[in-house]
Structure 1
């Protein structure tokens, strides 16, 4: 079967939330079928690594997307009534490449990662949309938490129209969780919905002994992503001071790429440390008494939660993150609201990794099982005349 895989991000390394899924799915899909990849990269290093993947891909097209140029282009088109998120990833260069590709007529089905890439897919070819989550809902939530609510509300409505069109056209729309599927069923009744959660790389995220040090709680994430920076700042200013009053030795460690000024300033607060772009977050997680995911805005599936659980750590989180798992929370997750609950859960967390947390997670979040489900969906999307 010939598949065109369109991705808004590079699959080179599973080192960022959005890249984890395409990395693992593409690696497994290419073992079973002939896959042509077309993706957008953030820099030349991503391009080089993607072009060097040894997964037997039929062809690889990469294009470096300049954030400044893409945002400027999207802003102009937003003023003309289009979706900012969609136009950010709209490249005429990629469109020309796909239109002229010599294998274009051989494609049996197109797999699109994120709604914004659906515009590249040939309308004559069956489409499978790996939506993951309903991104327009995030913009509506930004409307509540951020300044310029009018801008976010308008973008939410525009993106929702685009998502509706893509979902209604797709043979299957894939979501990460039942929570996201419920949102899509309500917003886009015509969508044909499938649910495939992410897996976890259990070989990489293994329990480890911690070095000696003061008791700590850790938050790890991409720190230039608003839900993460907002959660870190809210927790450091509104929750952690009360926790530290009840446990004076406790530290709050914030670690991740690209912390902005507001996140870096948190390091001036008593007991708070900010570690920018650590080479490896696993020692930070291993050293923590517990891991926190203090997000006030959460969509899709929180890989940071799964990775900490795979290391056998307890994860303390908000009701907003808990809702993304639907009615069944993974073992080892504690939902906290007031500072007293956060502190009590932290004090109750065993310092040593808990094997039962890791093993319970392994039963549900498996990349091979997830990829097999995706492969089945792709094979069912293939026209009968092509079999």
Structure 2
């Protein structure tokens, strides 16, 4: 209806298909917010948006504007970044010509509220003061950079060190440009270095209700790990699972099958494939991967934010094993609705428990599903966002 207020949203990626966490979060937010707002959506994109994807999002929007990011522009912006203190990822997504167009759209639509996903898009709207603005930090990106300093080779670690320091400053500086701030987890909130960080509203990710209702399927795989496999924490997790955990399981007499399911697998992930390890790449319906698997294992030792993969696996009733780092944002209880491990031997021991003790397998899986259903549905989480923006 035309009497709805206008919400102007700026995103660093087109929010479909849902192979990345920021796209998944944005898509479900758009679905919920469209009931209360006319949404004018502005998205950066590196590739042409397919018609099917455009139409999937367009049904929830008043207007959609996409802005192409070219490699030539990236090189120029990267060069300019060395002369400033802005993070490289802010420069990556910024183009002055796109800034001018977005400013024209703001003047044209005169929105009632601006919603900016991720600090990398803040430069486009931070100086517009004719309506309230909300920024979704999502994760403490600086903390993610800091964790990668120790895991990257020396010839890359200098970059992550520089980016870490710039992100700390930028996360603090951008805070005061926005009337409202949201973030995915309390854990990430604590890593935003601003004296008023407790004003940030924690709004976790959710799970689509359809994950709770998927029909039972024949199990083909013992272990499953999912994610965008071009993302370094997921690459490292997959390699750890295959190179460290599987050999010890085999020594114990468990020659298990593993499915690595997710978009854009890196060459390191593709090289893991064998007669017992299956690398699927992108699948149209990720629920099929969960339904075909018995146990979800997520050895996440770097990265930030709430892991959608854990929410989805638990919603599908899979018993899950992960690290305390990944569980900190989730808030599940070790031994009740999830199992936690930090060392390879502990991962192996807990996988063996699930493989051999059906009672424990069923109990953790069922309680994990109830935990997610009660705490992490998208409808429940997006109610908080609606109250903040309306």
The answer (yes or no) to whether the contact 1:199–1:367 under 8 Å persists in 2 is yes
Counterpart among 69, 75, 80 of residue 78 in structure 2? 75
CA apart distance, 1:329: 6.5
In 1, the alpha carbon distance for the partners of 2:267 and 2:57 equals: 36
In 1, the alpha carbon distance for the partners of 2:215 and 2:253 equals: 25
In 2, the alpha carbon distance for the partners of 1:231 and 1:95 equals: 37
Q: Under a length normalisation based on structure 1, what TM-score does the superposition of the two structures give? A: 0.88
Counterpart position of 2:147? 141
Counterpart position of 2:256? 250
Counterpart position of 2:172? 164
CA pair 143-312 structure 1, distance change in 2 beyond 3 A: same
Deviations 1:255-305 (A, max 9, x none): 22222222122225x733322223433333223220111111131110000
Counterpart position of 1:385? none
Counterpart position of 2:231? 225
SS at match of 2:301: coil
Deviations 1:289-327 (A, max 9, x none): 201111111311100000000100011112221223357
C-alpha RMSD over aligned residues: 2.5
Tell me, yes or no, if structure 1 residue 363 matches structure 2 residue 374: yes
CA apart distance, 1:247: 3.3
Counterpart among 205, 219, 228 of residue 198 in structure 1? 205
In 1, the alpha carbon distance for the partners of 2:309 and 2:38 equals: 32
Unaligned runs of 5+ in 2: none
In 1, the alpha carbon distance for the partners of 2:73 and 2:51 equals: 17
Tell me, yes or no, if structure 1 residue 325 matches structure 2 residue 333: no
SS at match of 2:146: helix
Count of aligned pairs between the two proteins? 374
Counterpart position of 1:182? 190
Q: Under a length normalisation based on structure 2, what TM-score does the superposition of the two structures give? A: 0.87
The answer (yes or no) to whether the contact 1:4–1:107 under 8 Å persists in 2 is yes
In 2, the alpha carbon distance for the partners of 1:322 and 1:219 equals: 15
The answer (yes or no) to whether the contact 1:221–1:255 under 8 Å persists in 2 is yes
CA pair 163-338 structure 1, distance change in 2 beyond 3 A: closer
CA apart distance, 1:21: 0.8
In 1, the alpha carbon distance for the partners of 2:336 and 2:349 equals: 18
The answer (yes or no) to whether the contact 1:86–1:159 under 8 Å persists in 2 is no
Deviations 1:83-117 (A, max 9, x none): 21101110223212122227546222211000111
Larger mean Cα displacement after TM superposition, 165-174 or 94-103: 94-103
Deviations 1:209-247 (A, max 9, x none): 34254x521111111111100111122212221122213
